[in-house]
């Protein structure tokens, strides 16, 4: 057996024995080609031992209940079609209901459902992170490291597996945009344009993506639109609100109010904590505004490389989201634009023309993401089963946690 095969066998064995240990190995060796696959495997395992807080209003509770209903009621394909297309419009996209229907033919177990969800999500999630790692090369700095971590935690695998439709669509869309911008391979553009099949509301980002190709050369005009959108979003215009109701959002999205990613477990975040989340939203928005202004000043919007296209598209989506923020749930599209802005900044810093002063300023600007990044860590712990640290895929079918890692640190509620 060759050295490479022995090494791959050793890593595969580590994943089988302890996926968390393999995950740590991947994080400590980001330049290793195997690292992205170790993180991918860990996301799948995270889903397989996903902690579902039954006391909460989290989306994962409803998903598991729907799977059990499909399994125990002999749910038929015709009923699935009714649910998706002829019913009240809860699902106007096939990804989640079709997967749940197929799984329900065999089992009603949560570990299978969320493990399967983790396959696609974990793949695009890990590839998005390593897209940045691969392209910064040897230009290492504390600012770049923190920004890549902030990129990874802006919408991590915890929120991704809890709200599987929207956040899978989000990372698939970003995956297509990042890779298309780098090599102009049209198959990646096609990947992004398929995201409405995962979440219907991604018709809007897809329309903006197509519009981007028509107006890409007007980067400074898009920046002006981006800046103006912050002021327009503060206006209480009844006409604008009425128009925005025709956005491609599902019945479910129109009916519900926006759930902040930190509020993913339902009503845990009380009124006393609302100031903390509001502060985070303001700081993240300020980060996007300052970084976009700085990158425009440095001329990134005029560059023909990946950073320029990603940056201009990020501004376009963020500005459009500002305009439609009247619509419940539309705030989530900020989480499509924010990673693109962060990615553009990382790529700019990784380029040869970036100066030491750019690194220093980026470090100062990235401090605005400290709360957002901390919330990402907190959310991972919230849905992390205690079996995540010491378990493996072989024990996942036989265990069910009644407490999360977060509760181990803070005590039961």
- Could you report the per-residue pLDDT of 150-190, keeping only the tens digit for each? 999 998 899 889 989 999 999 999 999 999 998 888 999 99
Any bridge partners for residue 404, and if so which? Answer: 385
* Cα–Cα distance, 68 to 163 (Å, whole number): 18
By the 10 Å C-beta count (0-12 exposed, 13-18 middle, 19+ buried), 370 is classed as middle
pLDDT at 261: 40
Check whether 94 has a pLDDT greater than 60. yes
* Cα–Cα distance, 12 to 393 (Å, whole number): 12
Q: Given pLDDT bands bounded at 50, 70 and 90, which one contains residue 264?
A: very low
Give the mean model confidence (pLDDT) for residues 368-378.
93
As a whole-number percent, the residues of the chain with pLDDT over 70 amount to 86
Give the mean model confidence (pLDDT) for residues 253-257.
38
Q: Given pLDDT bands bounded at 50, 70 and 90, which one contains residue 256?
A: very low
Q: Given pLDDT bands bounded at 50, 70 and 90, which one contains residue 254?
A: very low
Q: Is 115 left (phi over 0), alpha (psi -120 to 50) or beta?
A: alpha
With beta carbons less than 8 A apart as the criterion, state whether 244 and 194 touch: no
Q: Given pLDDT bands bounded at 50, 70 and 90, which one contains residue 356?
A: confident
* Cα–Cα distance, 345 to 151 (Å, whole number): 11
Instruction: Name, in order, each residue with C-beta under 8 angstroms of 202's C-beta and a sequence gap of 6 or more.
Output: 169, 173, 195, 196
pLDDT at 252: 44
pLDDT at 263: 43
Is the pLDDT higher at 118 or at 358? 118
pLDDT at 203: 92
Residue that has been written with the tokens 């459902």 in this structure: 113
Global confidence as pTM: 0.89
pLDDT at 235: 66
Task: Tell me the per-residue pLDDT of 7-42, one tens digit each, with 9 for 90 and over.
Answer: 888 889 999 999 999 999 999 999 988 999 999 999
* Cα–Cα distance, 342 to 368 (Å, whole number): 12
């Amino acid at each position: 057996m060759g050295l490479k095969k022995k090494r791959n066998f050793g890593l595969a064995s580590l994943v089988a024995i302890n996926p968390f240990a393999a995950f740590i190995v991947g994080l400590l060796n980001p330049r290793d080609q195997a690292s992205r696959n170790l993180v991918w495997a860990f996301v799948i395992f995270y889903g397989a031992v996903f902690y579902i807080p039954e006391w909460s209003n989290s989306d994962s509770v409803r998903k598991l209940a729907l799977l059990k209903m499909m399994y125990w009621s002999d749910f038929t394909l015709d009923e699935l079609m009714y649910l998706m297309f002829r019913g009240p419009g809860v699902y106007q996209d096939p990804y989640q209901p079709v997967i749940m229907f197929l799984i329900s033919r065999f089992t009603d177990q949560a570990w299978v459902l969320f493990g399967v969800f983790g396959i696609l999500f974990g793949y695009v999630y890990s590839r998005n992170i390593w897209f940045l790692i691969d392209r910064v090369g040897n230009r290492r700095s504390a600012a770049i490291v923190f920004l890549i971590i902030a990129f990874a935690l802006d919408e991590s695998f915890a929120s991704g597996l809890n709200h599987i439709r929207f956040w899978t669509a989000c990372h698939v869309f970003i995956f297509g945009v990042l890779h298309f911008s780098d090599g102009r391979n049209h198959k990646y553009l096609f990947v992004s344009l398929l995201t409405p099949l995962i979440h219907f509301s991604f018709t809007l980002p897809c329309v903006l993506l197509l519009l981007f190709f028509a107006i890409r050369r007007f980067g400074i005009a898009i920046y002006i639109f981006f800046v103006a959108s912050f002021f327009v979003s503060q206006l209480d215009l009844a006409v604008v609100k009425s128009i925005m109701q025709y956005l491609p959002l599902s019945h479910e999205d129109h009916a519900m109010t926006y759930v902040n990613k930190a509020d993913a477990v339902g009503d845990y975040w009380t009124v006393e904590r609302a100031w903390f989340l509001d502060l985070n939203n303001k700081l993240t928005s300020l980060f996007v505004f300052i970084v976009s202004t700085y990158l425009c000043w440095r001329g990134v919007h005029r560059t023909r490389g990946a950073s320029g296209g990603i940056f201009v598209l990020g501004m376009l989506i963020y500005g459009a989201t500002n305009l439609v923020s009247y619509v419940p749930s539309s705030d989530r599209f900020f989480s499509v634009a924010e990673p693109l802005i962060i990615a553009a900044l990382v790529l700019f810093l990784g380029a040869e023309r970036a100066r030491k002063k750019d690194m220093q300023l980026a470090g100062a600007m990235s401090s605005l993401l400290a709360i957002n990044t901390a919330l990402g860590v907190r959310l991972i712990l919230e849905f992390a089963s205690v079996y995540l640290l010491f378990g493996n895929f072989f024990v996942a079918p036989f265990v069910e946690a009644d407490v999360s890692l977060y509760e181990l640190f803070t005590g039961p509620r």
